[in-house]
Amino acid sequence: MNGRDLTLGVVGALAVAGVLSARRGSASVVAVLPQPSPPAPRPAFLEDFNAATVPAPFSRDGRMFPGVPVSIDLSHMEGDNYVTLDRFEAQPGIRGTGAGTEAMRRLLDLTDKHLLIVYLQPAPLDAGWAKKRLTDWYSSFGFDFEEGSEYGDMLRLPQAKGARRPNPRRSDPRISYNRSPR
């Protein structure tokens, strides 16, 4: 019997190999081969977050990126497609230095890597920040108000790698970006 090995198809999770006979339309299964194992799973979000951050010495539960004194407290259940940002706090002495922007960019890079939605409820931690100013700051990173939320929750969908985030300073109408030649 003249025949040659070939893959006849995939049945469930198994690749079926067979020998096609010289007779028209007949085939016999020789072996059932397991499919190649799936690629190793990516590290879980919390593992990546904990590896990239250190405990914030000025916060009970928060973590911070090394060299960026902004406390980040979040919650995430493995398997969920979202992260809840419970607290994001820059110490009063470093506000306005760009540390909060740097911490938010690093956090969003991690959530984008894991294709996670980020939820938050904007609440100023002191009288120095009005809620409108805070929501404008979050909006500059791509956060929008969640439709139907009775608490004013904001969310941000994951962005593709290399997608350009808006520059928070470009959203300030008081700053002119047109530079005339000297």
Identify the pLDDT of residue 58.
Answer: 83
Q: Rounded to whole angstroms, what are the CA distances from 39 to 35, 42, 58, 79? A: 12, 9, 40, 17
Whether the predicted pLDDT of 35 surpasses 90: no
Q: Which domains does the chain have, with CATH numbers?
A: 3-34 (no CATH), 45-171 (3.40.630.30)
- Give the 3-state secondary structure of the chain: CCEEEEEEEEECCEEEEEEEECCCCCEEEEEEEECCCCCCCCCCHHHHHHHHCEECCCCCCCEECCCCCEEEEEECCCCCCEEEEEEEEECHHHCCCCHHHHHHHHHHHHHHHCCCEEEECCCCCCCCCCHHHHHHHHHCCCCEECCCCCCCCEEECCCCCCCCCCCHHHHCCCCCCCCCCC
Identify the pLDDT of residue 143.
Answer: 95
Identify the pLDDT of residue 160.
Answer: 81
In tens, the pLDDT along 125-161 reads 776 678 888 899 999 999 999 888 878 899 999 998 7
Q: Cα separation of 177 and 174, whole Å?
A: 10
Which band of pLDDT confidence, cut at 50, 70 and 90, is reported for residue 4? very low
In tens, the pLDDT along 39-92 reads 545 558 889 999 999 999 888 889 999 999 999 999 988 788 999 999 998 887
User: Which residues 6+ apart lie within 8 Å of 64 measured at CB?
Assistant: 53, 54, 55, 56, 70, 71, 72, 103
In tens, the pLDDT along 5-26 reads 444 444 444 444 444 444 455 5
Question: For the whole model, what pTM was predicted?
Answer: 0.64
- Dihedral (C-alpha) 9, 14, 19, 21: value to the nearest 10 degrees? -50
Identify the pLDDT of residue 126.
Answer: 72
Which band of pLDDT confidence, cut at 50, 70 and 90, is reported for residue 163? low
Identify the pLDDT of residue 53.
Answer: 93
Identify the pLDDT of residue 147.
Answer: 85
- Give the 3-state secondary structure of 98-109: CHHHHHHHHHHH
